[in-house]
């Protein structure tokens, strides 16, 4: 029992130290998985519980654990294994690929990790773009690009203030960039702008701009369970 609790403390510390590091987000997911998957490179429900239990200690220390579904990590473990069993039936262990796929869906209990990652990356990101509202150029931090209008950018404070200009509406979709964009991303966003110009307001109401994979929790029995 003493060995078990020591393992929990060491694992929590490793996760804390990993969060602000400059490695890619997926590398962070893989690092997490490897902490509990040695030496077989596979992870059963018990090992995943251990990992998630340690991970939720971070929002817990910040007093934010209810926002991420509470301290009970059972729904998260079920969500991960259900996601995997859709791909390969009755799986009792998951591999690193399946874990990363599930984490990419941003399950509620773990969504703080990509958020922290993006905040850390955005702190120093300088965008060669002008904020269409406050006119700052270039600007630092998060960049919000309209997927409805070409070359419509907002800095973080203008985006969250809810101010708009030039016919841009609050329900229009935006993409959040925490690092300067590459030309490939610019092309991808350009195609989204084109598609969005053929979609209706109803579509945007049904598709929230930023989201995560919801999980059923003991605190929120009435929440609808949505598995993607």
Nearest to 59 by CA among 113, 99, 117, 121: 113
- Which residues are paired to 196 by β-bridges? none
Positions in 144-203 near Zn ion (CB under 5 A): 155, 158
Q: State which residue, 136 or 189, has the beta carbon closest to Zn ion.
A: 136
Q: Where are the alpha helices (DSSP H) in the chain?
A: 2-18, 25-37, 45-55, 57-61, 74-87, 96-104, 112-122, 156-161, 183-196, 201-206
Least CB distance to Zn ion at residue 96 (A)? 40
Helix (H, G, I), strand (E, B) or coil at 36: helix
Q: Which of residues 39-58 bind Zn ion (CB under 5 A)?
A: none
Indicate the residue among 51 and 155 with the shorter CB distance to Zn ion: 155
- Which of 115, 121, 134, 175 binds Zn ion (CB under 5 A)? It is 134
- Of 100 and 175, nearer to Zn ion (C-beta) is 175
Q: b/e per residue, 200-212, with b = 16+ CB within 10 A?
A: eeeebeeeeeeeb
Q: Closest distance between Zn ion and the C-beta of residue 103, in Å?
A: 32
CB of 140 to Zn ion, least distance (A): 11
Site map (CB under 5 A) of Zn ion, residues 76-115, x = contact? ----------------------------------------
Q: How many helices (H) and strands (E) would you count in the chain?
A: 10, 5
Size of the residue set binding Zn ion (CB under 5 A): 5
- Nearest of 181, 184, 193, 194 to residue 129 by alpha carbon: 181
What's the angle, vertex CA 147, arms to CA 187 and CA 226, rounded to 5? 110
Of 32, 94, 111, 133, the residue at the interface with Zn ion (CB under 5 A) is 133
Which CB atom, from 80 or from 133, has the smaller least distance to Zn ion?
Answer: 133
Report the run of H or E that residue 99 belongs to, with start and end: helix 96-104
The answer to whether 125 contacts Zn ion (rule: CB under 5 A) is no
DSSP lists the bridge partners of residue 139 as 127
CB 182, min distance to Zn ion, A: 23
Residue closer to Zn ion, measured from CB, 155 or 215: 155
Q: How far is the CB of 157 from Zn ion (least distance, A)?
A: 6
Cβ neighbours, 10 Å, residue 222: 5
Q: For residues 80 and 129, which CB has a smaller minimum distance to Zn ion in the complex?
A: 129
In 3D space, the residue among 52, 53, 14 whose CA is nearest the CA of residue 31 turns out to be 14
Query: Which residues of the chain form contacts with Zn ion (CB under 5 A)?
Result: 131, 133-134, 155, 158
């Amino acid at each position: 029992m003493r060995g078990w609790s020591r393992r929990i403390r060491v694992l929590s510390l490793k996760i804390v130290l990993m969060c602000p590091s400059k490695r890619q987000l997926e590398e962070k997911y893989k690092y997490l998985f490897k902490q509990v998957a040695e030496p077989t490179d596979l992870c059963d429900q018990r090992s995943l519980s251990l990992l998630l239990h340690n991970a939720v200690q971070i929002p817990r220390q910040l007093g934010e654990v209810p926002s991420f579904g509470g301290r009970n990590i059972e729904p998260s473990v079920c969500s991960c294994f259900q996601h995997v069993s859709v791909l390969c039936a009755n799986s009792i262990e998951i591999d690193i690929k399946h874990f990363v796929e599930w984490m990419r869906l941003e399950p509620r209990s773990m969504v703080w990790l990509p958020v922290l990652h993006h905040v850390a990356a955005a702190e120093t990101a300088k965008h060669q773009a002008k904020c269409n509202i406050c006119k700052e150029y270039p600007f630092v931090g998060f960049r919000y690009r309209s997927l409805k209008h070409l070359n419509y950018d907002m800095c973080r404070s203008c985006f969250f203030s809810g101010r708009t200009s030039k016919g841009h509406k609050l329900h229009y979709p935006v993409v959040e960039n925490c690092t300067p964009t590459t030309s490939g991303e610019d092309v991808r966003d350009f195609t989204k702008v084109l598609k969005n110009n053929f979609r209706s307001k109803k579509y945007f109401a049904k598709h929230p701009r930023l989201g995560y994979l919801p999980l059923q929790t003991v605190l929120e029995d009435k929440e609808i369970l949505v598995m993607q």
